[in-house]
A and B are shown apart, each in its own frame.
Chain A
Amino acid sequence: MRKTISLILLLCTTGLLAQDELLEILESEQADEKGYVSATFKGTRVINGHSIETRTNGVLEFIISHRFGTINSGYDEFYGLDFSTIRLGLEYGLTDNLNIGIGRSSFDKSVDFFAKYRFIRQSKSSPITATAFTSMVRKTIDELGLEGTDRNAYTAQLLIARKFSSNFSLQVAPTLIQRNLVATAQDDNLLMAIGIGARYKVTNRIAIVSEYYPQLSDKSDQFQNSFAVGVDIETGGHVFQLHFTNAVQMNERGFIGETTDDFWDGDIHYGFNITRVFDLRPNKS
């Protein structure tokens, strides 16, 4: 009797073990994929500045950005909501790594063009993602009395980011901006700054983001370093980015170099970016 029981037991256990053993074999043999990391940041912007993310081949993204007045401007200005600056942008993925874009801002009637190229992707063989970014901004407003190339500024950025966990990503962005004309003699024409951006995912669809762009080159006292903190909310094809920032401009020259409000003095603007993507060339499968 005991023998029979032990026999049955033995048979049962080996039956169970068989599956687990097979599973172990499969998992150990699983093809060693490159394991590219995705969604280091949810949008192509951390807040004001670009993130390492690019849109994939054939994807067109439409970005509507608003910055309102300062929230400490009182009821007369409806806490800043009476005033707003806007940027409308279109970005397109020529390849999965190469994007181009164009934008028009109401502030100083600026037009900006940019290109960004992601040349390293975080994966099993690389700890970081790196994207090179360059842009040109031209102020088309006439009231400032700008002439010819004095209207222009050029930006070069190296965006380096790492997704440390599925919840936390950090980006560092050494930045150079060549301004053909600056506000005062105290301001360097070649602006140097280091942008720092972070994202912390609170739930699957909500993340807290923050961004700081301290300037390293000489600047006159009227200019402040841009700081922003916000929330990313994602719903299917849209990303809503809601934030508080001391910057009102939404191109690199503007928010990094020409921010005049002091966040720590309470000159804080409410703002948002809304993106919608359109797949123009869905890959046939």
Chain B
Amino acid sequence: MPDPSLRFVVALQAEARPLAERFGFEPLSESHAFHVYRGERGWAIVAGTGKAAAAAATAYLHLLSGGEPGQVWLNVGIGGHSQRPVGDAFIAHKIQDGASGVSWYPPLVVDLPCPAAPVLTVERVEEEYTPLWVHDTEAAGFYPTACRFSTSELVQCFKIISDNPEVTLERSPSSSFVERLIRDNLDRIESFGNALLGLARELAALAADPPGYREILARWPFTLAEQRRLRRLLERLAVLAPLADPRASLGPAAKRGRDVLSALETRLSEIPIVIARPAGIPSDAVR
């Protein structure tokens, strides 16, 4: 499984450009249903406005980027607020679809680079703002869609205030204005994305094959049930004898998968079980 990377979903080209610069993304040359950027650190897609477009672009990017689960998904965009000044940034702790009333609560398990706030997804840019909510047009389309492809802790919305009762968006905001708002928050976006990538890597490591698994599968035949047993035996071996080569005890006598399993069982039974703090770690490290 490839190393987890970032997936940005934005509404506007002006939001995508500063992200692409910061994260080293290049626009894909071939024609796609959406503007898509790609780089070593991940992908960005320009959805257009509206929750349906956001949902469609999220699903499109998932498939285009390989369909791997466990990636970091970030909806970055602008929004309105009844009180907060232009330029303030927020992470969504609650997302509500204004049309249906359905709510989602993104779990926030890393340090946040800015305050958290509820986000209300509306059908069009509002000139009246429900107090305390950040008003946007994408989050309620993006979030439930991305949660189909990743665990919810890795799916987040980062919103920057672009309008309030004193600075309304009667016309579409200029590209340069939106770009500046995003650019001013790139450090926060990057640190947040990196923190989420740390979580994604932790989960990816859990799902990784134990040492020797692929090599053994390639050499001996196993039924599906035996493959599950093999995985678990190798996981146990990796814990009990982390430096051991799992193939070392599998001599030429092993003809079938079950011979391999038997040899691994025997080897595991010879390793004493020791439950103790690893040397060098103080006892209060876990208290």
A binds B: no
